[in-house]
Chains A and B, each alone.
Chain A
Amino acid sequence: MRTIELNHLTFTYPGRSFSLSIENQILADPMVAIVGQNGAGKSTLFKLLTGLLTPQAGVIKINGTDFNNLKPIEKLRQVGITFQNPDDQLFNPTVQREVEWSVAQVTDDRDKIATQALNALVRVGLDARIAENPYDLSLSERKLLSVATVLAVDPAIYLFDEPMMSLDWESRRKLTAIFHELADSGHQVVTITHDMDWVAAEFESVYVMEHGKFGFAGSPRELFSDHELVDRVGLLPPRIMAVAELLGDSQTYLSVDDYWQKNHDD
């Protein structure tokens, strides 16, 4: 089982009042969503989990091992991240070289580099575009390319920062399928997202961050049933709940199918 364990973790930015403080938390489910307002600490947590930031105190254990004791190459094999803006991580002249560059950070085996890069591009549906400049792709395609750079390395744990943002519908379906494939094949997928329809429909485990802490951990149904919490942390419930509300029904629904299950006449 893949796990992220956070023990007495604290981090503050110099000169800023924000502080992240997590006592003890284990993220153990295959697919985990992290939600919360801007400034709640979600991106800071991801930077700590990838080693971009170092905590002032506390321990991060990835699959049981202290993350800070891992060699850089081992960190890359354990945790891969896809940023919110793909342009923050694309800099090679072709689609193929972009993905190969990522694999080359963890292996010198040229055959392996070529094969893993191509397989990743096939998975995201960009294998016909390998010779193109990444910046000739659409924004949705650049996001899928940034996902391919991580898929090609195949870390144990995948972190995604707002993966659905700016994606067209075709790409959303593709990426959701990849999330489930990863979870089903023994990886852990942890994603920051503002997309509550997606969280409600696809995830079993959701964590709410609030003022640098975890304020809630549970299922989407538990989260969206707690109207006071949802309001306080500035989340919008899934659209199906707003639609039900129009009909005077304030029950918790996670999807259209969920509504139908509870309300259709046999």
Chain B
Amino acid sequence: MDEDKRIVVDNLTSRYPGTTQPQLRGINAEVQAGQVVGIIGNSHSGKSTLCRVLAGVISKIVSAEVEGQWRLFGRRVDDWPAYNAMTGVVLQNPAGQLSGLSDTVADEIAFDLINQGLAENLIQKRIEKVAAQMGLSAQLHLHPESLSGGQIQRLAIATAIATHPTVLILDDPTSEMDPLGRRQFFHWLAGVKDTTVLIVTSEIDDLCEIADSVWVMHDGQLVSKGTPGDVFNHLATDWQIPAPTITQLAQKMNWRMADGQYPVNAAELKEVRYAHN
């Protein structure tokens, strides 16, 4: 298939200076345009390192040895201005991602748009739109540092999506949100079109409602990838990853789908319980 229409990761290995074991070991994967990929795993599985490499943070900002190749829709990280313009990124600790130069939430969202040379009236419209999407309309005039942890995460996401990136890379973007904020975020993500999304999250119930594909990271390796149904029906015990609530319930009640698998999301659960009755 045409390389310009997918993300390709080819035998990617990465190691931080001063560490003996690589944090990423021989990662191979592909993502088709417009897909949502969920990346899951415990601490030290390599998921944040993978985000940093794909975002270009390694090795543009953080130094690390990197072997192997990866391309976002045909573009390499060496072509940095174009590569950087394609991506919207929210990493762990989003407070550290704020520019530190903005007096208001609105200015912070505008930062990259001004750098892109967008007209002022368009900037204003864009700010209002992404603030509404992230539930920050009432906070636009506030200083970014006055926001709660969950609101800072929503600001980081608003800033990342304001430039209409081709690829969104989100590392645990809801970790500090309350349950309602988290639900609103995944509801928004479900409606995102024309953007390819890589999201690290531990919210597996929400993830299974929206992901096209799930990658499981363990000890720096990509140990499983496939549809949410395939992945969560074949979890290895030593990954220490729980199944979604729907799957746990179906296993306990022995509710299987026609193909023998347990359901992982609402649509599959309804299929199991209603389709054949």
User: Footprint of B on A, CB under 8 Å?
Assistant: 37-38, 84-85, 138-141, 165-166, 168-171, 173, 194-197, 234-236, 239-240, 243, 246-247, 256-257, 259-260, 263-264
Contacts and interface: CB of A to CB of B under 8 A. Distances in A.
Contacts of B148: 38
A262 to B, nearest CB: 11
Contact of A166 (B172, B178, B252, B273): B172
A57 to B, nearest CB: 28
Interface string B245-256: 110110011000
A170 B148 CA distance: 27
Nearest to A171: B43
Interface of B: 41-44, 92, 148-150, 172, 175-176, 178-180, 183, 202, 205, 240-242, 245-246, 248-249, 252-253, 266, 269-270, 273
Given A141-B43, A166-B176, A236 B183 contact: yes
B42 A166 contact: no
Contacts of B41: 168
A264 B242 CA distance: 22
A260 B92 CA distance: 37
B179 A165 contact: no
Contacts of B270: 246
B12 to A, nearest CB: 20
A234 B183 CA distance: 12
B106 to A, nearest CB: 22
A144 to B, nearest CB: 10
Given A165-B175, A257-B252, A243 B42 contact: no
B205 A239 contact: yes
A147 to B, nearest CB: 15
A170 B205 contact: no
Contacts, number: 70
A239 B245 contact: yes
Contact of B43 (A37, A140, A264): A140
Shortest 5 CB-CB contacts between residues of A and residues of B: A138-B43, A236-B179, A168-B42, A239-B245, A166-B175
Nearest to B148: A38
Contacts of B252: 256-257, 259-260, 264
B253 A263 contact: yes
A235 B178 CA distance: 9
Nearest to A240: B245
Given A37-B178, A166-B172, A168-B41, 13 more contacts: A85-B149, A138-B43, A140-B43, A168-B43, A169-B42, A173-B240, A194-B178, A236-B179, A236-B183, A240-B245, A240-B249, A259-B252, A260-B249
A259 B249 contact: yes
A138 B44 contact: yes
